[in-house]
Amino acid sequence: MGTGEENTEPAEANLMSKLTRRQFVQTAGTAAAGVLLAKSASSFGEDQEKSVCVGVVGVGGRGTGLLHTLLNVKGVVVPAICDVHKGNLDRGLGIVENKTGQRPEGYSDGDYAFQDLMDRDDLDAVIIATPWEWHTPMAVYCMRAGKYAGVEVPACQSINDCWELVNTYEYTKVPCMMLENWSFRRDNLAVLNMIRQGLMGQMVHCHCAHSHDCVDHWFFDATTGADRWGAKYLIERNRDQYPTHQLGPVLSWLDIGYGDYFDYITSTATGSFGINDYFTRKFGADHPSAKRKYAQGDIVSSTIKTKNGKTIVSDYDMQLPRPYDNRWTIQGTRGLYNEQRNSVYLEGRTPAYHEWEDFDPYQEEYEHPWWKEMGDGSAYGHGGTDYLELKLFVEAVQNKTRTPLDVYDAVIKSSVGPLSELSIAQGSKPVKVPDFTRGKWKTNKPYFGV
């Protein structure tokens, strides 16, 4: 078996040389108060009147959407925004001013302007929605500065990134939550309720995918064909570039990190055909990007085996023409749920033998309390999903509790990116998954959505 790169040096030794005096004082104080973070994320309604000051780093497309949603979460104040692109920054500052009447302070002076924002004394938390390579360094700096970090997906680009996030959290005790919104989808949380109430028996297998044609808006400009910031990943890497959307609900469905854990991963990629064909169709065969070589295969299929013998098949499919689809199927010893069909089959409960049953009545019966208590939040961000995850993140900051998803959830999901790349490069050999919990998965109790 191949092995992933690993950094397991003691967290204190790894961090002390990097901490400024000011950051040391902040993180030492936070670590001393770490016991306050032991209880799980609170339910709606607790301490709602306490305001939370949240900075935002990155207000491009995704960051702007999050900013709009964040401003509708009760008790949130946004005193500072950072974006190196002045146009994005001015738009973000205007959004806050139009909503609240107060104009935040803006930061845009170079790639490390985010540090000035995070060093402010008036911030409780920071939302990070920047290009992928900045997620880990920004989240690490945020934790060292003593602020809760809410970082977009994927949180890490390498296994060393994963260890740096874990080591930083374990030293500072400052929470870091990856903003994987599909973990909070209404249907996925109802399925989680069904699983925990035993309707599907013992969990055995899951299939999931991120199937989303993003060539003409994430990676390249639809009008000019120019590279956007994501294009370099397709040029340079062959991996599951975006594993967290499909795996978001799967971790809680299978208790990954809480009684079970990923053991090894095997990944296979198709050749790269779709991007060249896209440019040929739209811009002609002589367009430079139609002739360019791309490392990224069109579809990457990964099989993950867990410590307790469950399996997951996860597909990356973001470069071929297709409608959006996540293709979730979760199967147990007494039944299964299929998202594409919007159906379930439950042994001993579904009326027709071996025929699908509509999921909608189960959605109503097993509605998760988080969604029952949403109020008007469903009007914001992916039908309320973004609102729910930000609402729960803010609640954790308000009450100094753990976030609903923690740093260990962030790194195990994100690690599928670099681990799949390693497996593909080695001819689809199995690659061992590092234990980022250092054995704590064996005794951890499930807490997401409990």
pLDDT surpassing 80 at residue 183: yes
The pLDDT confidence band at residue 378, using thresholds 50, 70 and 90, is confident
pLDDT surpassing 80 at residue 6: no
- Model confidence, pTM: 0.91
- Which residue has 């795996």 as its token pair? 247
User: What is the arithmetic mean of pLDDT over 61-90?
Assistant: 97
pLDDT recorded at residue 67:
98
| Cα–Cα distance for residue pair 183/196, rounded to 1 Å | 15
| Cα–Cα distance for residue pair 431/423, rounded to 1 Å | 6
Give the DSSP letter of residue 6.
-
pLDDT recorded at residue 49:
55
> How remote is the C-alpha of 320 from its chain's centroid?
23
pLDDT recorded at residue 380:
86
pLDDT surpassing 50 at residue 441: yes
pLDDT surpassing 70 at residue 78: yes
pLDDT surpassing 90 at residue 350: yes
pLDDT recorded at residue 385:
96
Q: Go through the domains of the chain in sequence order and give each one's CATH number.
A: 2-181 (3.40.50.720), 183-370+406-442 (3.30.360.10)
Give the DSSP letter of residue 289.
H
User: What is the arithmetic mean of pLDDT over 373-380?
Assistant: 82
pLDDT recorded at residue 141:
98
Per DSSP, helices labelled H in 48-125 are: 61-70, 86-100, 113-118
Express each pLDDT in 225-279 by its tens digit. 999 999 999 999 999 999 999 999 999 999 999 999 999 999 999 999 999 999 9
Number of residues that make up the chain: 450
Query: Mean pLDDT lowest for which of 12-21, 69-78, 112-121, 345-354?
Result: 12-21
Mean pLDDT, the chain, integer: 91
User: What is the arithmetic mean of pLDDT over 34-50?
Assistant: 42
Answer positive or negative: Cα dihedral of 345, 350, 354, 356.
Answer: negative
DSSP 397-412: HHHT---SS-HHHHHH
Q: 28 or 273: whose pLDDT is higher?
A: 273
